[in-house]
Amino acid sequence: MKTLSGLATLGVAVALGIASPAVAKTLVYCSEGSPEGFNPAFYTAGTTFDASGRTLYNRLTEFERGTTKVIPGLAESWSVSEDGTVYTFKLRKGVKWHGSKTFTAKRDFNADDVIFTFERAWKPEHPFHKVSAGKYPYFDDMGMPKLLKSIKKTDDYTVVFELNAPEAPFIANMAMDFASIQSAEYAEAMMKAGTPEKLDLEPIGTGPFYLVSYQKDAVIRYKAHPNYWGGKAKIDDLVFSITPDASVRWAKVKAGECHVMPYPNPADLEAMRKDPSINLMSQEGLNIGYWAFNTEKKPFDDKRVRQAMNYAVNKQAIIDAVYLGAGKLAKNPIPPTIWSYNDDVKDYPYDPAKAKELLAAAGLGSGFETDIWAMPVQRPYNPNAKRMAEMIQADLDKVGVKAKIVTYEWAEYLKRARAGEQQTILLGWTGDNGDPDNFLNVLLGCDAAKTSSSRWCFKPYDDLMQQARKTSDVNKRTELYKKAQVIFKEEAPWFTVAHSIQYKPVRKEVIDFKLHPFGGHLFYGVDIKE
Closer to other proteins by Cβ: residue 72 or 400: 400
* In the complex, least distance from residue 405 CB atom to other proteins, rounded to whole angstroms: 5
Interface with other proteins by CB under 8 A: which range of 91-99, 115-123, 301-309, 402-410? 402-410
Instruction: Please identify, using beta-carbon distances, which residue of 327 and 434 lies nearer to other proteins.
Output: 327
The binding track of 74-113 with respect to other proteins, each residue x by CB under 8 A or -, is: ----------------------------------------
Helix (H) or strand (E) holding 280: strand 278-284
Near other proteins by CB under 8 A: residue from 76, 155, 197, 270: 270
Q: How far is the CB of 214 from other proteins (least distance, A)?
A: 24
- Least CB distance to other proteins at residue 394 (A): 5
Q: What is the 3-state secondary structure (H, E, C) of 190-216?
A: HHHCCCCCHHHHCCCCCCCEEEEEEEC
In this structure, are residues 313 and 354 in contact, taking their beta carbons and an 8 Å threshold?
Answer: no
Compute the least distance from the CB of residue 416 to other proteins, in Å.
14
Comparison of 155 and 320: residue with beta carbon closer to other proteins: 320
Q: Which residue from 112, 236, 237, 245 is in contact with other proteins, where contact means CB under 8 A?
A: 245
- Candidates 250, 456, 458, 523: give the one binding other proteins (CB under 8 A): 250
Closest CA to 497 of 295, 239, 322, 367: 322
In the chain, count of helices (H) and strands (E)?
19, 19
Q: What is the 8-class DSSP label of residue 182?
A: P
Q: What mask, x for binding other proteins by CB under 8 A, covers residues 407 to 446?
A: x---------------------------------------
Q: Which is nearer to other proteins, 144 or 322 (CB)?
A: 322
Closest residue by Cα to residue 40 from 220, 182, 218, 249: 182
Interacting span for other proteins (CB under 8 A) from 62-70, 96-104, 320-328, 418-426? 320-328
**Binding status of residue 267 toward other proteins by CB under 8 A:** yes
In one-letter notation, the amino acid at residue 44 is: T
- Cβ atoms within 10 Å of 80's Cβ, excluding its own: 15
Q: Is 384 in the site for other proteins (CB under 8 A)?
A: yes
> Smallest distance, Å, CB 393 to other proteins?
6
Tell me the sheet residues that pair with 379. Answer: 382
Compose the 348-377 pattern: x for residues touching other proteins by CB under 8 A, - for all others.
----------------------------x-
DSSP per-residue string spanning 488-522: HHHH-SEEEEEEEEEEEEEETTEES----TTS---
Among 171, 271, 345, 411, binds other proteins (CB under 8 A): 271
Residues in the chain: 530
Instruction: Provide the 8-state DSSP code for 260.
Output: B
Nearer to other proteins, 24 or 317 (CB): 317
> At closest approach, how far in Å is the CB of 262 from other proteins?
14
Q: Which of 188, 236, 390, 509 binds other proteins (CB under 8 A)?
A: 390
In the bound state with other proteins, the residue whose beta carbon lies nearer, of 275 and 463, is 275
Give the H/E segment covering residue 131: none
The reply on whether position 391 binds other proteins by CB under 8 A is yes
Nearest 5°: the CA angle 409, 411, 412 is 60
Size of the site for other proteins (CB under 8 A): 26
For residue 495, how many other CB atoms are within 10 A of its CB?
24
Helices 303-312, 352-361: inter-axial angle, 10-degree rounding: 160
Contact window for other proteins (CB under 8 A) among 97-105, 318-326, 471-479, 489-497: 318-326
Q: Tell me which stretch binds other proteins (CB under 8 A): 14-22, 268-276, 284-292, 362-370.
A: 268-276
- Report the distance separating Cα 145 and Cα 156, nearest Å: 24
- The three-point CA angle 190-192-195 to 5° equals 45
3-state class percentages of the chain: helix first, strand second, coil last, to nearest 5: 35, 20, 45
Q: Compose the 196-235 pattern: x for residues touching other proteins by CB under 8 A, - for all others.
A: ----------------------------------------
CB of 246 to other proteins, least distance (A): 6
Q: Based on CB atoms, which residue is closest to other proteins, 191 or 271?
A: 271
Angle CA 461–465–466, to nearest 5: 120
Is 321 a binding residue for other proteins by CB under 8 A? The answer is yes
DSSP string, 344-403: TPPPPP--HHHHHHHHHHTT-TT--EEEEE--SS-BTTBS-HHHHHHHHHHHHHHTT-EE
By the 8 A CB rule, do 184 and 113 touch? yes
> Residues interacting with other proteins, by CB under 8 A?
245-247, 250, 265, 267-268, 270-271, 314, 317, 320-322, 376, 384, 386-387, 389-391, 393-394, 404-405, 407
